[in-house]
């Protein structure tokens, strides 16, 4: 089994405060504690790993099995910054790490990697046991309030405000998309007050609002739209295409297919005031064949029956056509076929940040050194979703959180060694 942490020479008694008990924070704590340094983990919630456990309710998608280039491409414009971290601790290393905790993994049909038992709880229990055995101490219900005038860390606790000092600090406070689980973005003010560059937090892997008609909303809200291809242009004009499914909601659309395109759609709305999502409702059909089928006489059959019998389109897909197209378009086979292959849905706005699966924005990589230390705050490191990057669902978010947590922990160790030089 490969080793993930290199033991350093014995350091004098030093302490590191890790603020945030998600995967990034816990991985930082592990990297540090394995080297004989005392680690205290602080979290605002009553227990650590709550978001991690929630992610495992439907099966914990730990990482993704695909080629190196395909995997790294999922991180978009932040690939150059994340690639060194992922090269050091990528999907294979993460699976080996889980195996070291007694949890085997398997690759699903879509390339997604899951624990053998699908759940997050056994992995988290084994991990926390190992961390406690290594001397890591946990302090729950400690909400970070930044620093005081003398540079001490401030925490709100049930017993009142608590202040402390540490030789190094790892911040792993998450983004702003899960306020009920502690990721509320409150840390932004504490860092910006210190002059740290922070990009505004924005929803990622999110749904979008569409101005549905009352009839369509009442009839089809909650219906899944399956086996479609969606496409949209990003702000540079490059068209992205994905195949999958999504769900019609009372306010618009959401689901895995929408999440995969959410960055381009969100940025399009921000720059142009709106975005258009094109749907291919019949991806297995070529346009000439559709035109030919729709041109056949329908006799006494209704338009709905004709559409279903000739193309198989019915239910919510037929409802989407009626929602978007004027009535006369259904009498024109060419126009109707073109709409089936590229039905435009006009998106008005992303859903609020607190409803998103993850968030974009955060501490700019330009504000950090190669060890993820804030240049303006020596000895303070950042990891996880509070950094300015985003990725689609499918194990990419978790993998980068683990990798950045490990890197920040090792960075803190290097900083402590420098203090002894």
User: Tell me: the pLDDT tens digits for 127-180?
Assistant: 999 999 999 999 999 999 999 999 999 999 999 999 999 999 999 999 999 899
Strand partners, 233: 239
In the predicted model, what is the mean pLDDT of residues 15-30? Answer: 97
Q: Is the pLDDT of residue 1 over 90?
A: no
In the chain, where are the structural domains located?
15-203+357-420, 208-350
pLDDT digits (tens, 9 = 90+) for 41-91: 999 999 999 999 988 888 999 999 999 999 999 999 999 999 999 999 999
Between the alpha carbon of residue 164 and those of residues 144, 161, 174, 381, the distances in Å are 11, 10, 22, 17
Longest dimension (CA), the chain: 90
Structure confidence at residue 373 (pLDDT): 98
pLDDT computed for residue 8 by the predictor = 40
pLDDT score at 277 = 98
Read off the DSSP letter of residue 179: G
Q: Is the pLDDT of residue 10 over 60?
A: no
The CATH superfamily label for domain 15-203+357-420 reads FAD/NAD(P)-binding domain (3.50.50.60)
Strand partners, 280: 229
Q: Which of 412, 389, 411 is nearest to 400 (CA)?
A: 389
Q: Which DSSP string do the residues of 25-54 spell out, in sequence order?
A: HHHHHHHHHTTT-EEEEE-SSSSS-HHHHH
Residues 6+ apart with CB under 8 A from 296: 310
Position 235 scores a pLDDT of 86
Average pLDDT over residues 170-197: 95
Residue 236 has pLDDT above 90, yes or no: no
Over residues 199-221, the mean pLDDT reads: 97
CB atoms within 10 A of CB 36: 17
Backbone angles phi, psi at 256, to 5 degrees: -55, -40
Given this model, what pLDDT does residue 391 score? 95
Q: Is the pTM of this model over 0.85?
A: yes
């Amino acid at each position: 089994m490969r080793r993930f942490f290199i033991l350093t020479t014995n350091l004098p008694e030093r302490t590191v405060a890790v603020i945030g008990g998600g995967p990034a924070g816990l991985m930082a704590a592990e990297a540090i504690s394995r080297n004989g340094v005392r680690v205290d983990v602080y979290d605002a919630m009553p227990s650590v790993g709550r978001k991690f456990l929630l992610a495992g309710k439907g099966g914990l998608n730990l990482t993704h099995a695909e080629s190196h280039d395909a995997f790294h491409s999922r991180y978009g414009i932040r690939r150059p910054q994340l690639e060194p971290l992922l090269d050091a601790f990528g999907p294979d290393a993460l699976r080996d790490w889980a195996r070291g905790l007694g949890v085997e993994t398997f690759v699903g049909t879509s390339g997604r990697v899951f624990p053998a038992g699908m759940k997050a709880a056994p992995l988290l229990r084994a991990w926390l046991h190992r961390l406690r055995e290594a001397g890591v101490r946990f302090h729950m219900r400690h909400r970070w309030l930044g620093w005081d005038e003398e540079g001490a860390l401030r925490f709100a606790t049930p017993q009142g405000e608590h202040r402390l000092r540490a030789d190094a600090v790892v911040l792993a406070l998450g983004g702003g998309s899960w306020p009920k689980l502690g990721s509320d973005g409150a840390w932004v003010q504490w860092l910006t007050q210190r002059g740290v560059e922070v990009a505004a937090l924005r929803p990622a892997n999110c749904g979008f609002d569409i101005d549905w008609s009352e009839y369509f909303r009442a009839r089809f809200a909650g219906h899944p739209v399956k086996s479609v291809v969606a496409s949209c242009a990003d702000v540079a004009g490059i068209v992205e295409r994905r195949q999958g499914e999504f769900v019609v909601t009372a306010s618009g659309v959401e689901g895995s297919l929408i999440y995969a395109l959410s960055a381009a759609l969100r940025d399009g709305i921000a720059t142009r005031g709106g975005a258009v999502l094109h749907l291919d409702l019949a991806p297995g059909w070529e346009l000439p064949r559709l035109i030919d089928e729709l041109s056949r006489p329908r006799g006494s059959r209704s338009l709905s029956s004709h559409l279903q019998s000739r193309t198989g389109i019915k239910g919510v897909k037929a409802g989407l056509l009626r929602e978007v197209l004027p009535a006369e378009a259904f009498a024109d086979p060419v126009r109707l076929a073109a709409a089936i292959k590229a039905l435009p849905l006009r998106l008005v706005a992303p859903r609020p940040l607190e409803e998103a699966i993850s968030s974009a924005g955060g501490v700019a990589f330009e504000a950090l050194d190669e060890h993820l230390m804030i240049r303006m705050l020596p000895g303070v490191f950042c990891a996880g979703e509070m950094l300015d990057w985003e990725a689609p669902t499918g194990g990419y978010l978790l993998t980068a959180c683990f990798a950045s947590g490990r890197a920040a922990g090792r960075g803190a160790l290097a900083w402590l060694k420098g203090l002894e030089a």
